[in-house]
Amino acid sequence: MHDPLRHLSGLRALRERLQALPAASPERPALLDEIARELLASRPAERVRLPGRQRAALAGFVLVVGLAGYAFTGNWQGWQARSPVDAGELMVQRLADRLAASPDTARAADWAMLGRSQTVLGRTAAAVEAYRRALALQPEPDTLAALADLLATEQGGSLAGEPAQLVAQALRLAPDHLQALSLAAAWAWADGRPAEARQHWARVKALAPEGDPLRASAEQGLALPDPPRP
């Protein structure tokens, strides 16, 4: 049976370990991943809805960034006052409130972080708005690809229209961006351009490390037989 108090105590211990590590410690990424997994585990399964092709990577990334860049700089006592089930939502609400209170000084990275956080919580409309605010300040490949993926999910998986345009913009800024390449491959395949899709998948396979879900997806795409010609 899940014990909320024991879970919160475990999160506190992980936080203390993180604070004791030097900023450049090679142990920090793994520890942040562990904290992210613990926070996700504290949420009811039906509330964690991760749209798009990069569900696992997105979930880990948003909470790692959120914890490292925002939540740990706040008041930890505020976390103790709430159920650990609500810890992720509390972190996101604090960030949203801070940006709403000072929109003129908010950075693109802040809005992008909020967009990723809202995506993890399944708040699509809020995530889209946050991503658009981030892009209005500074077009970044990560944000462009994330918004494209989210909009495509809302379109039933189709990248037609704005999602494809966002992917193309991301690749103009960063031709080797893995998520953008993966989305471009999916769109090319769905649009009847298998040769172009295979080029993108081959690039992802060449760039992504072993074990990366995008590499596995690219390998699956490269193994697909050519669609029949009309």
Query: What CA–CA distance (Å, rounded) separates 66 from 26?
Result: 19
pLDDT one digit per residue (tens) for the chain, 230 residues: 444 445 455 656 766 676 666 655 666 556 555 665 555 454 433 333 333 443 333 333 334 334 334 333 333 333 333 444 466 787 788 888 888 888 888 899 889 989 988 888 889 999 999 999 999 999 999 999 999 999 999 999 999 999 999 999 999 999 999 999 999 999 999 999 999 999 999 999 999 999 999 999 999 999 999 888 76
pLDDT, position 117: 86
pLDDT, position 105: 84
| Residue in the block written with tokens 């991503």 | 131
C-beta separation of 174 from 152 below 8 A:
no
Q: How far is CA 199 from CA 38, 196, 218, in A?
A: 38, 5, 10
| Residue in the block written with tokens 């090319």 | 188
- Find all residues with CB under 8 Å of 207, minimum gap 6, and list them: 176, 178, 181
Query: What CA–CA distance (Å, rounded) separates 146 from 101?
Result: 25
pLDDT, position 14: 65
C-beta separation of 101 from 120 below 8 A:
no
Burial, 66: exposed, middle or buried (Cβ in 10 Å; 0-12, 13-18, 19+)? buried
| Residue in the block written with tokens 């142990």 | 27
C-beta separation of 183 from 163 below 8 A:
yes
Q: How far is CA 9 from CA 13, 21, 83, in A?
A: 6, 19, 12
Write out the DSSP string of 116-136. HHHHHTT-HHHHHHHHHHHHH
Q: What structural domains does the chain harbor?
A: 139-230 (1.25.40.10)
Query: What CA–CA distance (Å, rounded) separates 28 from 19?
Result: 10
Does the pTM of the predicted model rise above 0.85?
Answer: no
Q: What is the CA radius of gyration of the chain?
A: 19
